[in-house]
Chain A
Amino acid sequence: MKLQAKYNRATISAAIFVLILGSISYYFLLRYVLIKEVDDALRVEEQEILDHIKAHHNLPEETDYHDQQIHFFPASKVEQRRFVSTNTIDEVEKESTISRRLIFPINVNGKNYTAVVTKSEEEADDMLILIALLTAAVILLLFAILFIANRMLFRQLWKPFYATLSSMKRFNLSNPDKISLANNHIDEFNDLNKTVREMTLKVASDYQSLKTFADNASHEMQTPLAIINSKLDLIIQDQELSEKNMQHLQVIYDSVTRLTRMNQSLLLIAKIENHQFPDAKNLRLDNLLNERLQYFEELIHSKQLRVSTSLQKCEVMMNPVLADILLNNLLSNAIRHNVEAGNIEVKSSPDHISICNNSSSIPLDEKIIFDRFQKAPGSDGLGIGLAMVKQICDVYGFQVAYGFSKQMHAFRVTFN
């Protein structure tokens, strides 16, 4: 949930709660005040009647207006003076009218009467409704204004935060200078920016030193590898060597070769990460695929693989070396992990290439196959070829996807 939505939800529910509570008490208070007003008017009437009796010693005229009725009833006993709220139903108009009534005893020339003065509350009710409507309108207006003001204020206040967020999203380890965090007049956000700046600098420098270390380590390793290789080349010239020792040497050879390849691959990945292959050219990947298939001819033949191709023109802007590595790694995987007399399908179209192959292995986990040093059980590869493929695709914004269907592993590179 967005911060603003969350904030709005909290403030609006609080406001509604207060509003309901407030309007209920407001209603009762208002009603109380209005009734009191009517009661006061009734008391004035009472006083007028009493004054009249005092002056004239007779009952005043009964009145029966719409909003005020005065009636007198002879009473056998003295009624208690009281205010009553009544609800009379008008037979004609079928409307109920709420009215307030004052009942009080009077004595005219020794005779007891009960005086009933009734005042309609309709006027007060109308006023109540008017006031309620007015209040509601004002409150709604207030709400709307508050909501809009909040929104604008919110947007304004959090602007630096969103700016920071978006520049953090754009942050790229291999190009850490790009993060730009402007100063603003809110301390908290300045603090945040300061922390983010320090953190990214730290991360970038850590990353840089790690990369330099890996780079140097790989470079420094080349020379000892060269020495081991050269010594092996000399040792095998020895005619006294037993067959067993020769076999040991072969294992050493193979291991050195693997180590060399791994080292070179890591160097290559680092170079790709550092964008050290800038020169892009328009390349015909379909032709390159054909070339690569020819290059692997012996391997394909020795495994008796069937290769079916469906190559349409596929032109892509990329560095030729990287294109070679991309196709090389995908094809050599398709050959190496294939079964005896298996199939390879190579396809290209203007917007993608795909390479499918049989294999004895189960479907691979597509979440991790593009990670470094992830390899299928029993694979004799380095576990680095697909990582390199991914890296190259990332550089150019291509999508590489893996799928498994009909007993075939399929790798597909889609160009934009």
Chain B
Amino acid sequence: MKLLIVEDELELSNSIVTYLKSESYACEVAHTYDSALKKIDAFEYDCILLDIGLPDGNGLKILEELKENNKSDGVIIVSAKNSIDDRIRGLRIGADDYLPKPFHLSELSARVAAIIRRKQFTGNNIILYNEISVDTISKQVEVNRQVLELTKKEYQLLLYFIVNKGKVISKNAIAQHLWGDGMEASGNLDFIYTHIKNLRKKLNEAGSSDYIRAIYGMGYKFTE
């Protein structure tokens, strides 16, 4: 899978590349508007992360260019301005997703994975992880071909874990993924534990191994 990261902040793009590379994506970086335009003209990408606040041009123009050339690259707009207008404009022009800064890399990774899944017309909507299989269209989970009944939150949590497998995900990132912005402010993230516990229990009862590891009370890791 080939990704283009259009981001003028060097350190942020470095972090993104490091994280996504470890999930075996091929990443290219463009730090300016011009170099981004050249790259999208020359290559096809599965997904483009597009910071619209570039110093030498508006990222939305790049998006327009892409759409005019009928490119099918998936696009996630990344913006420091969490503005509804930008979001609406971006999505109207044809972006697939909108991610306000700052974000968690695990969240970015999940969004990228979702877009790539959507862009593949091969009907490949099943994510496998050993004995667990997740159908992202019917939102159904099977363990050893037995259907597992999960709540919406548990399903989101499992998918988030599998997409970020092998990575430590902080509780803050989980809270933001499951509840959005409102919940983090509640100060106490202990309620996440309830959902983890229930998911773990259901997986174990269905005969799956225990993949969820707590990491010193700060986060979780889905790993063998």
Contacts and interface: CB of A to CB of B under 8 A. Distances in A.
Nearest to A229: B102
B173 A222 contact: no
A223 B81 contact: no
Given A226-B102, A231-B15, A382-B185, A301 B191 contact: yes
A254 interface: yes
Interface of A is mostly: helix
B186 A250 contact: no
Contact of B215 (A236, A256, A385): A236
Given A332-B186, A336-B186, A223 B168 contact: no
Interface in A252-270: 253-254, 256-257, 260-261, 264, 267
B12 interface: yes
Interface string B88-102: 000000000000111
Which of B101, B181, B184 has most A Cβ within 10 Å? B101
A335 B179 CA distance: 16
Contact of B217 (A250, A321, A332): A250
A225 B170 contact: no
Contacts of A237: 22, 167-168
A331 B173 CA distance: 23
A302 B190 contact: yes
A226 B15 CA distance: 10
Interface stretch (A23-31, A131-139, A154-162, A241-249): A241-249
Interface string A322-336: 000000100010011
A198 B106 CA distance: 54
A230 B16 contact: yes
Contact of B218 (A230, A247, A295): A247
A295 B152 CA distance: 12
A223 B7 CA distance: 11
Interface residues of B, number: 43
Which of A243, A253, A261, A321 has most B Cβ within 10 Å? A253
Interface string B139-182: 00000000000000000000000000001101111000001011
A233 B15 contact: yes
A334 B89 CA distance: 35
B123 interface: no
Contacts of A302: 188, 190-191, 194
A250 B19 contact: no
B117 interface: no
B128 interface: no
A21 interface: no
A222 B80 contact: yes
B182 A295 contact: yes
Contacts of A321: 84
B35 interface: no
A85 to B, nearest CB: 100
A275 interface: no
Contacts of A385: 185
For the complex of A and B, 7 pairs with smallest distance between CB atoms: A230-B15, A226-B102, A222-B80, A233-B105, A246-B216, A226-B101, A250-B218
Interface of B: 9, 11-12, 15-16, 18-19, 22, 80-82, 84, 100-106, 167-168, 170-173, 179, 181-188, 190-191, 194-195, 215-219
7 contacts: A219-B80, A222-B100, A232-B170, A233-B19, A246-B215, A298-B191, A335-B186
